[in-house]
Amino acid sequence: MTRFTAGCQRHWDVALPMIFRQKHVLRPLLLFLFATTSVLYWLTLREENLFRHQLIPPSSTGASSDLASPEAAFVSWPLARVCNEATWQPGLVFICDINTGGIGNIRGYILTCMRYAIAAGAPGLVLPRIRERSSHNISELVGTLNNFTYFFDAAHFRNGLRTACPQITLYDTDEAIPYARKEQFVRPAPPNPDPPPANSSRTPALKPRSPFPEFIRPKGFFNRSFCDVRDLNRQTDLFGLKFRQWVDMTAKDFLLPPVDPQHPRIIHLHWGVQLEWPIWHDGPEFANTFGGLLRLRPDILALGKRTAEAMRAWAAARAPWGSAPGYAGVHLRTENDILAHWLRYDDQATAYLERISTLNLKAVFLATGNQTEAAKFAEQAKKEIGVAVVSKHDLLPTSSPDRKALDALTWDQQALVDYIVLLESAYFLGVSPSSFSMSVALKRHLHAEGLYTRPWKIGGEGDGRSCLPHVRAGSRSVSTLVLGTSFSFVGLLRDWPPSSPSIIPLSFGLGTALAGGPLGFCETAPA
């Protein structure tokens, strides 16, 4: 032993107690310390994920804790936080029934209106109604005004709102609002101009000969001289203050008593208010859960689940050895109401089949309202890439109770069955200008990270669960539009409207979508 090593040995002997110099004790101790340190390090890396799942406990009602599920439990605390921060004005009541279109648009209208109502401090809300569009010509948007249960589960909505925001009283109808005068509900009311600047005494929404109902455009409370009309509302923090100032000003202009429960003010938003509220305003946890209030009504939800189960069985029976389990879901949007504006069958079909050919899936569920092109797509898919295509009508035997239940639904109600089956597909393909497609993709995006789902990265493969080719009418090129996290308002979008990110009509609770340019959920090479 050298002099140096002997010195080290002496220091070692002095520094350690006798027990630690025994090899049979030292080795287990070191192994224990190593294992403990490794576990603590792993837990540190996983802390965010563990915390997130603790915030979404399993539901006692049997609802799914997976926010991407159509049966997802409603996570109430993000909405409760927003409601607790609001400044409430007794006597204000919002009516959120100026809505038209399919499930994507309807969710956007209702949720955007509700968010403005909370910002305004309105403790009164009428249970939203839903405008039915024609099953024969879906460009005819204004049809019968149906109850909330036309699409949604009213009991779930009531319970969720009562839990998260007890400050709000929910009225079944307009006429149920206490102290409301009958003339407040003359329909339809003539359109009114945008609200003027705050220093003007001219009322933006009331007219002396017919003061009610009061229609507003929230963006009109601000100076937007240099803003694109499609741009989102960048001043939502000031909306509540500006709105309440407007309420006081118009009360003076029309000699109305101050607003209170005995003298209510009934507020509508103008048609088309949905692509406005900044998705990032209330945090991803709010964006990813708010739309959970709008669960589909129980009978349609059950029918959709049974149809999805039939689709899985159909796909499994036809899957050759070695192919991936499950099925691809496709939304083919070529109905005549939009053909002149953005989509073509050839562009969509080419992009879809190109992507499906890379998935190792041999079964496709097709959602479309164009039966002629559904048959065309099925034939093309079989011929070009050898996959089988089926629709909800094909899956349900003509004489079965489920088929009879499906046939009894309206065109837009039947689309809810498609919506459910597409949510449960192994991979989804839709088209980015469609609010229906974006709603499905954003809801599916919540599966990976749940409450704190982050926006998609622009370009690349997105989340690996959905692809929305972005197609412009008359163009042979196919690009994609990337949406991001998940606001169940459904999402941030930059290409539509093109000027800036905004909420698209999907659903708070569908997810935030952070998008940009003509890129998308997945990267598709030009055709």
pLDDT value, residue 476: 37
| Whether 337 and 375 share a structural domain | yes
pLDDT value, residue 125: 98
| Whether 145 and 236 share a structural domain | yes
pLDDT value, residue 63: 62
Exposed/middle/buried for 318, CB within 10 Å: 0-12, 13-18, 19+? middle
Phi first, then psi: give them for residue 458, nearest 5 degrees.
Answer: -70, 130
Residue with tokens 């499905």: 440
Q: Is residue 52 part of a domain?
A: no
Q: Is residue 517 part of a domain?
A: no
Exposed/middle/buried for 157, CB within 10 Å: 0-12, 13-18, 19+? buried
* Neighbouring residues of 391: CB distance < 8 A, sequence distance ≥ 6: 365, 366, 367, 368, 374
| Whether 203 and 233 share a structural domain | yes
Q: Is residue 50 part of a domain?
A: no
State yes or no: cis peptide before 497, omega within 30 of 0: yes
> pTM, whole model, 2 decimals?
0.76
Strand, helix or coil for residue 82: helix
Residues written for the chain? 527
| Whether 316 and 267 share a structural domain | no
Compute, in degrees rounded to 10, the torsion defined by CA atoms 358, 359, 362, 365. -110
* Tokens standing for residue 171: 């009225």
DSSP structural state of residue 77 = H
pLDDT value, residue 222: 75
| Whether 129 and 98 share a structural domain | yes
Single out the residue of 451, 456, 447, 446 nearest to residue 483, CA to CA. Answer: 456
CA 443 to chain centre: 6
Q: Is residue 56 part of a domain?
A: no
pLDDT in tens, the chain (527 residues): 544 444 444 444 444 455 445 555 566 666 777 777 766 655 544 443 433 333 444 344 456 678 999 999 999 999 999 999 999 999 999 999 878 788 998 999 999 999 999 999 999 999 999 988 756 555 555 557 899 999 999 999 999 999 999 999 999 998 899 988 655 554 444 344 444 444 444 444 443 333 367 888 887 777 766 666 666 677 788 898 999 999 999 999 888 899 999 999 999 988 767 778 887 889 999 999 999 999 999 999 999 999 999 999 999 988 887 777 799 999 998 876 556 566 788 889 999 999 999 998 999 999 998 888 999 999 999 999 999 999 999 999 999 999 999 999 998 999 999 999 999 999 999 987 788 998 999 899 998 788 888 776 656 677 888 988 764 444 433 333 333 323 333 333 323 333 333 333 333 444 443 322 223 445 443 33
What is the distance between the alpha carbons of residues 452 and 235, in angstroms, rounded to a whole number? 25
User: The CATH number of the domain where 479 resides is what?
Assistant: 3.40.50.11350
Domain that holds residue 121: 77-286
Q: Is residue 524 part of a domain?
A: no
| Whether 331 and 430 share a structural domain | yes
Q: Is residue 525 part of a domain?
A: no
Number of domains in the chain: 3
